[in-house]
Structure formats: structure tokens, C-alpha cells
Structure 1
């Protein structure tokens, strides 16, 4: 029951990262907001979660994991209800900000609790269950949000959290044992302030860059400069102060450092692909939103079946082999997507979705288990918060990177195709006999087709980039040390950087 309750809270948080996306047009109409203003419903949640995530490690040390988890579940559930009852944009954005703050602790605290409650031989299975919720939550969100919005109203996108949150709170309160033996370090307010400023500004760059043409905008230059300066000062501060907000010695553990680097790749692969497929299917292939959700469903099915398998393999099979299988499956999935054309049907998307979901479990679960295998208990809260933050950064960076690459390639290819739209071009005469490009109707038809072809080529190039990323990341897996099977909390490589 502890696992069920904790996972219900974690899934609730993960679903909320994507469930509101499809309801934005309806929210925009109800609140009379502009397209730019309504995007803050998403941005406020993501920024609040990114800023608050590093804090949850210290909170767990100071107040206990159980208490922090209970407060997070209760706050997240209450604010979800307030989001559903919002009547204007200001209320909605404000409550989403609070929702992100309360939800930030759910994933890292749930991960640590599952790791510490289970004996070493069961931690692989517990991380498989955790991975199921972490991966499937963002997949369920758009489909559930679309169905609730179409059949009821956008308010139910948030109100659906109420029964789940209440059950998760009662289950956690009843079955999770109290444990208050964590020794809290002094709170490094200056370090937290620098990290919050750096991460918040970075998230604004990722969220706003595409809308304001990236570094052509003064806004992005200001935000990027603030982020770089704050993060640089944070690094100097943590390396020189006695009780830093983040103890950099956790990165001396090779498994944690390598798993964190691969966590960035996981974020890019999972959320990058998920951000590409829905607009491609709806825009280029003309699929209705519910059909897009159906086409994406095999990804969740693949994740489910892989979880049943990989949980039993942890501890029996070299985790490096499992991670390589995950990267290989993701590479094949991206390569298959890069072969699509405007004549492709949804079979390719469904097959590659199943394969990608299957591969993500084989990648996420071994990394989650190995990442903390040799981390001492006193570093566990902090390491989980940092690991979660790194995945969030990878997700945000991945979404922004694929958008930039796709938009840039579309413009380049469209320019080249448009140059060839001339009446004397023999290829045009052969492909479209009888078309008069000199006429308005013929020119419009040819230009529209050029736009479609350019966008398709841009998507193909982006999928090819994701394939190359998988291949390049494979050697990193070999740097992982196989933890002792008899003791998943094996010998630590950590040595303090700061003398007390």
C-alpha cells in the first residue's frame, strides 16, 4: 500500500506536466487571455517546480521525508482544486505556481522512499514501478486532458486530481512509517537563492525563446546572462563555503555522475520526441486530437510491458547491458521515424512508439537504480533532488532544441524548394503536368506543397539528430560501475570537499 500511495502522488504530478496542454485554447477563451498570456499556465508550473526541486533534499533532512511528502500531497491536491475553480487568468497562473511548488518534492522524495524502504534485492523492482509512473504520466496527460476537456470542461483537468490526491494522502499517512533520524545541515539561503535565480532564468530562456526568436531578442540575452552569472556564482559559492546548498562531492561518485549525464539524454529523448509527434500528426497528417492520442498510446503499452521485465532483471543482469538495450531501442525508434514521408500511415508511429516506450524503461530503471547504488544514506535526499532537477533540465532543453532545429531546417528547406518553383523547371513539369505556376492558383498550390514538404524534411532531420544522440551516448554507459549485487548500497567513492 505504501508503494501504491506514493506512486499515485508521483503519477499525479507527472500527469499535470502535460495534461493542461490540450486544454489551453479552452482556457484562453474562458479567461479572455491572449495566446502569449495563456502560455503562462504551463510556464508558471514548470518554473516553480524547477526552482523548488533542489530545496526538497534539505526539507527532507530537516522535517523528515514522510512529513514533506504529506504536506506536498495535501498542498498539491488543495491547489489543484483551486486551479479548477479559477475564474480569471491571474488566479489560474497564481495557483499553478503554487501547484508547481508543492509538486516539486513528489518525484524525488518518492524515489528516495522507495529506495530506502525496500531491501537491496527488491530495489530494482521498486525502481521499475517508479519508472512506470515517471514515464507514463506525461503520456497519459494529453489523452486524459483532451477527453476531459471535450466531454466536460477544462476545469476537470485539475479537479481530477482531488480523489487521487485524497487517496494518496490517506494511504501515505496510514502506511508510511515515521522516521525522523535525518540530520539537517544549516540552510544555505544564499546558495539556494543563486540556484533558484539561475534555474528560473534558464527555464524562461527555454520557454520563451521560441516565441521571441531566441537570441534575436533582448529579453533572451538578459535572461541567459542572468542564468549564466547566477549559476557560475553558485558553483563558486558551493565549492568554497562550509555548508553548501549542494555538496559537489556527490558527483565524485562515478555512478551518480555518469547516470546524471545520461539523465539529461533521457530527458531529451523522452520529451523531445513527445513534443514533436503530436503537432506533426495533427498539422501534417490532419489527425484529430483523439486520434493523435490513440497513435501515442502504444508508447505507454511498451513502457508497461518493459517494466514487468526489467524489474526482474535488475540484480541478475549487468545494468550496463540493460541501459545499452534501452539506448539501442531508442536509436532504432528514432531511425525508423526518420524514414517517414507524407504518404506514411500511423502504423509507423504506433510501432516506433511501442519500441520507444519499451526502450525508455530499459534505460530509466537501470540508471535510477545504479545512480544511488553507492550513495551514502546521508546524501540520498540531496542526490535524488539533484538527479530529478537534471532530468527536468534535460526535458526543457530537449523540447527547446527540437523546436529550434525543426524550425530552422524548415526555413532552410522551404527556401531551397521555393527557389525551384519556376515554370521552366523540368521536374515541376514532370511531377505536375498542366499546372500553371504563373497563375495565382497554381502558385499558391505549389507553395503550399513546398511548405508541407519542407516541414516533413525538418521533422526527419530532427529524428535523425535524436538517433545520433543515442549512438553518441552509448559509450557513456560503459563508464558505469556495476554495483555489488549483494549490496546495492555498496562502497561509496565520496570524500568530503569541505572540512568541518
Structure 2
């Protein structure tokens, strides 16, 4: 596609629709977060399957995101965009009629596949409606909208579910999708690449094989008792084979979908690793906090969703303020500050208690949001300041993918440790209920009383396990924090 296309008629409306699609697809990722208890109950979904609600969407979008531009160049931007939008609506409708966990997860996969195409193409459409001199700064606006969708999705889902049930949360996007489809049909001109674009399908396929196999291994391992299962061995073998083929292909071929020159820029590589950790922490924290409030502490869905708002305000507010920081200030300092603030926020989460009210959650969430809001634009500035301008489009795609990969693996890993820790803590707490504990054995206990006692112990064990996962997320940021020292001072971008 030609980067110097003239601004189409109705450029403002077209850009608004593209940004609305960006918000919609990012908000639908965490939309069920505050209502997992109701989704699990109505679909007979087990606790380990609840994590699939997020990982299926993320993994699917990570698969289609790298190929979105090729599809648009090969088959036409308008045609591919409208097809992705229709596919997204199909996923929404299937989610509302799902009656089993697999049907619901399948609907989420369809949404994720469409989302991976909509996100980069929405940005491309928005960029083409802007004058050349304004395109360089537009990336910050687009990222802010993505983040706004991620942090506001649970509050929207919680409010709708409290008043209308969980299935209507997916109906919200239907009129938005219809509006976006109509605007694109009327105002977006069809565009294809002047020459048939090439794409490294072998590299993409091997990388995708490794990603899918690893995700399946993490999602299914706990249920299948890990390597006692033939399926887990096959998934581990698929992951190893995919990584091996991709590494050999990367080292032996000159042309592939990830340019080797990207990995020669120290700032880009280190910033991408830290950005991966940001994705690991952000969505995993949300995936832990909402179920903690909803299932363990018994908060209603609208309150659970509302407690994500402080994180969103802090994140988006800090992100926008960073755009006003003068160029003369060294962004490495802000990266260090952002990492420190995120670590501090996760440290505050270690003090959560079953006896607390909502304020510690709001305060820790707001502080974490501020830290990530400082960190993300600073990392972006550093990552691309020393990168060859010719590599920036490809680098942007991989940089954003690192956050998605981090979120996908982060949610899967914290789910694994959560269930293991819950079982371990349950056994530890039960071991203290001996005949010598008079409070538990003052009189013969009925089955109903024993069930209530077990439920109380399970809740205590689950709460301790959740707090342990916040410690894991804090450690993840501590591990990448030394990388800040090795960043080079950024230079002004072209």
C-alpha cells in the first residue's frame, strides 16, 4: 500500500471509526474479567478453564497480527478489514449462545483472530487519513486508546452484567461494529499493493507452531497432570520443533518476517524484553484482581469492574502527560522510574487482606497504572530512537507483539501457580485441624457444617495463593530492572 495516499473524503469520520474499532477490540479482551464467576457457573467451567477466556483471545490475536498487513496488501485493505469485522461479530454472537466451556473458548478464539487483524489495520487506516507531518506523533494516541480499552473493559462488563446478566456484555459491540462497517463501506477506498507482496510463511509457520504448542502446554498441563500425559509431550515436542526450525531459518535465510537487523540494535532488544514484562504484569494483575474481589471477597460485578477505573485513570493520564515531557529529558530516567513504581505497586498488593475494604485495591491499581503509563512511552522512545528508520514499521509490529506475548504467557503462568499454591495452602491449613483443636471438634459436626468449614479454608487458601502471584509479578519486574542500566541514551527520532 502506498504510504503517501491522499486523505480520503470524510477522513475525520474514517479515522474515528478506525479508532473506535481499536478501542472495541482491546476492550473485549478483558470484558468478561469482572463476571467470571457467573460465566463459570452458567457454563460449568472449571477454575483452570477460566484462564482460557483470556489466553485464547490473546494467543489467537498474536497469530494473525503479523500477517494482517500481508493480507491487506494481497486481497485489499477494505475487503480484509470488513471480513475481519464480520468475523469479530460472529465471535461475539457465538459467545452469547455458548452453552459449554469449549463453545465459549471457541468464540473467544474467533474474536481474537479477528482482533489481530483489526488492530494493525485500524492503525494503518488512521495513519493514512493524517497529513505526513502528524503521523509521527499519532502512535501515542493509538496506544492510549488501546490501553483505555484494556483498563475500561472490566468496568463496562461488570456494570452490564450486574443489571442485565453476563451474556449481554457482548451485545455492546454489535451496534459499534455495524457503525464501523457502514463507515468503511462508504468512505474507505479499496487499496492493494502495487506488486504482489511476499511473506515468509515458513518462518511465520514455525514461530506460530512454537507459540500455539507452548500455549496449549501451559493451558492444558495442570488438567492433564503435565508430562504424565501424551498430549503434553506432543505439545512440548511441537514447541521445541517450532523454535528450532525458526532459529535455523532466522540464521540461514536473508529474508524472513522478522528482520535479523532488528536484533542488532541494543536499545530495541532490551526495550522489547522490558515491554514483554510490562505485558506480563498488566493483564495478569487484572486477571488476578477481579476474581479475587468477585469470587473470594464477594464483591458484586459492578463494584469489581469499577475498581479497575483507578488503574485506567493512572495509566492513561500518565501516558498522556509523558507526551508533554520535553525532548531534552533522558527517557532512561523515566524507564527507571516507571519500573520502580510498578514494582512498588506490586509490593503494595502483597499487603492485601481478606479484612480490607476496596481502598487498597484502588490505590495499588492507580499506582501501577501510573508506573506503566510512564514506562510504555519511555520504552517506545528508546526502542526506536536508535533503530534504522527502514526497520521501524517491522519493529513496531514486533514491539507490540511482545506485549501481547507477555500477556498471553503471563496469564497462563499465574493461573498454573495459583492452582498449585491453592492446593498446597489448603493442605497446609487443613493439617492444623486435628482432634486437639477444640474449636473444630467441640461437638460432632454435620455434613453441612463440614462443607462450610471446607469452603472457608478454600477461600483462605485461594486468597493466599492470589497474593503469592502478585509476588511473582513483582519478581518479574525485578528481573528485568537491571536491563535499564544497559540502555543507551536515545537520540531524536526522524
**Length-normalised TM-score, structure 1:** 0.81
Name whichever of 279-288 and 172-181 sits farther off: 172-181
1:181 to partner: Cα distance: 7.5
C-alpha distance in 2 between matches for 1:173 and 1:316: 44
1:388 to partner: Cα distance: 2.7
2:287 aligned residue (275, 283, 308): 275
Name whichever of 267-276 and 48-57 sits farther off: 48-57
1:9 to partner: Cα distance: 1.7
Match of 1:497 in 2: none
Match of 1:469 in 2: 476
Match of 2:9 in 1: none
Match of 1:318 in 2: 330
C-alpha distance in 2 between matches for 1:423 and 1:468: 40
Is structure 2 residue 233 aligned with structure 1 residue 221?
A: yes
Unaligned runs of 5+ in 1: 490-500
1:38 to partner: Cα distance: 9.4
Deviation digits for residues 380-438 of structure 1, max 9, x if unmatched?
343233223322221121112222223333333333333333354xxx67xxxx65367
C-alpha distance in 2 between matches for 1:160 and 1:70: 20
1:98 to partner: Cα distance: 4.0
Question: For residues 411 and 153 of structure 1, do their structure 2 counterparts lie closer, same or farther at Cα, with a shift above 3 Å needed?
Answer: closer
Describe the SS at the equivalent of 1:312: coil
Deviation digits for residues 318-354 of structure 1, max 9, x if unmatched?
2222222221121111111101222221110011111
Is structure 2 residue 359 aligned with structure 1 residue 347?
A: yes
The Cα RMSD (Å) is 3.8
Describe the SS at the equivalent of 2:479: helix
Give the conservation status (yes or no) of the 8 Å contact 1:76–1:103: no
Match of 2:90 in 1: 79
Describe the SS at the equivalent of 2:244: helix
Deviation digits for residues 261-282 of structure 1, max 9, x if unmatched?
1121011110111111112112
C-alpha distance in 2 between matches for 1:382 and 1:57: 10
1:458 aligned residue (459, 465, 469): 465
1:185 to partner: Cα distance: 5.5
Is structure 2 residue 489 aligned with structure 1 residue 482?
A: yes
Describe the SS at the equivalent of 1:416: helix
Question: For residues 99 and 224 of structure 1, do their structure 2 counterparts lie closer, same or farther at Cα, with a shift above 3 Å needed?
Answer: same
Give the paired residue count.
477
Give the conservation status (yes or no) of the 8 Å contact 1:132–1:361: no
Question: For residues 266 and 72 of structure 1, do their structure 2 counterparts lie closer, same or farther at Cα, with a shift above 3 Å needed?
Answer: farther
Matches within 5 A, 1:77-476: 78-79=89-90, 82-83=93-94, 96-110=108-122, 123=136, 126-152=138-164, 156-168=168-180, 186-313=198-325, 315-424=327-436, 436=441, 439-440=444-445, 448-476=455-483
Deviation digits for residues 31-55 of structure 1, max 9, x if unmatched?
x786699987766544432221221
Give the conservation status (yes or no) of the 8 Å contact 1:253–1:374: yes
1:211 to partner: Cα distance: 3.6
C-alpha distance in 2 between matches for 1:251 and 1:173: 40
Give the conservation status (yes or no) of the 8 Å contact 1:267–1:392: yes
Question: For residues 368 and 6 of structure 1, do their structure 2 counterparts lie closer, same or farther at Cα, with a shift above 3 Å needed?
Answer: farther
Describe the SS at the equivalent of 2:308: helix
Describe the SS at the equivalent of 2:397: helix
1:129 to partner: Cα distance: 2.5
Unaligned runs of 5+ in 2: 1-11
C-alpha distance in 1 between matches for 2:440 and 2:125: 67
Give the conservation status (yes or no) of the 8 Å contact 1:73–1:106: yes
Give the conservation status (yes or no) of the 8 Å contact 1:127–1:369: no
